[in-house]
Amino acid sequence: MSRFSYLFLFFCSTFLVFTSCKDSKEYSVDSSFTKYLLRFESEGASRGHKFDPQSTGLIIEFGNLSNNEAGLTHFEKPIRIQIDKTYWDDISKSAGADLMMEDLIFHELGHGLLKRDHLNTILKNGDWKSIMCGGEKVNNRSWNINYRGIRRSYYIDELFNESTPVPSFASLLLPVDTTGYNSLNVSFNFDTPAQSGWTIVDSLNYKISLDNGRLRFESKVSEVYLVFVKIPNPLTIQTDFTYELTLNYPVGDNTNQYGLIFGSVGAASSGTNDQIEFFTINNNKNMYTGNRTWYSYFTELTETSVFPNGNNKLKVVKIGQMLYYFINNVYCYSSEIVTDSTLNEFGFLVPSHGVVWVDNLKISKKGSTNITSKSKQNIQMEFRIQKSNQFDLNKIKNQ
């Protein structure tokens, strides 16, 4: 071997000239990510962006990332993207996995191929403006993003064009008519034991009592409680409805969530198979919406209409496939429903070792007629109480 050959090998082994000896057009994409890369290329092409990573080079691989990172983009030649293997496997086990994986890969390709930085701007309704949110925390808010339905189209538009107009879903003006519902379809005011529904009892795990015309539920366990009523035919609600009640959680950790649940509760042990929609708040003025079959809640919002440690009237209106959320009669948010169950189980969530007061629980159906007190007494409703895992154990990792 010539002296020149030895020198060439020497220099190629050093850091300073490593990139000159590396194939800068290497294409190596793990098969787990291929379909998301192809989607990115297709979405980009429909918006005037052409990519050819198979020719120009790209590496997307699994890694063991730290610092709560879901993905990491290295600005090398070619661009190298690492995805945390544990996180990828975890989200793959839940509903919505495909959209969560797409969001993650699109975010990292936004860095690598679009050269976009993190963008932590917030829309008027509290949603993140872009799927490029990440990096430095904003008011310690989670990175959960409601990347579904009508929002997905907007977020992809914004990914390829940062000047995309503000979407209509970001408006704080109620876009629909929520009148025409009969508030007396099913109602409980908890003024007397006969009107309480749930049995007045002091058991090993919980205590139910009446307190000045309100239902008082005290949990004695570390799990959360799902306390709900199952509405039988002919009151099974499969179309448009409203559901509301007033909750008070005066003492406890301000980060604990409490609020509405509805859908198909089922066993409710882990929640992974239960089509439970939830609409919760905490005493830090945060609001959460989601479905128990997903990896985590859809989004975390700050809502000034929440009364910390006070009475909070929560209301959800379903029209078509959309849910409209209200806190103390203030419209806050809208989002698509997930569950396709019969939607005949409605209730509330009680935090770990928490005490919650409940009042004025009402379930209504569009255009329904009044049900008299005598008729209500003849309807055999099933009142149930189940322990469940926490609703907020998982959070989206930083991207």
> Residue ranges of the domains in the chain?
3-170, 186-388
Instruction: Give the pTM.
Output: 0.90
What b-and-e string marks burial along 317-336, b requiring 16 or more CB atoms within 10 Å of the CB? bbbeebbbbbbbeebbbbbe
Tokens 């003492």 sit on residue: 251
361 strand-pairing partners: 188
**Rounded average pLDDT per 10-residue block, the chain, 399 residues:** 37 39 84 98 97 96 94 96 97 94 98 97 97 92 95 98 97 91 75 87 96 96 93 67 95 95 73 81 97 92 97 96 96 93 88 96 74 49 86 81
How far apart, in whole angstroms, are the C-alpha atoms of residue 124 and residue 169? Answer: 9
What is the pLDDT at residue 237?
61
Give the CATH fold of the 186-388 domain. Answer: Jelly Rolls (2.60.120)
Q: What sign has the CA pseudo-torsion 134, 33, 25, 66?
A: positive
Q: How many helices (H) and strands (E) does the chain have?
A: 8, 20
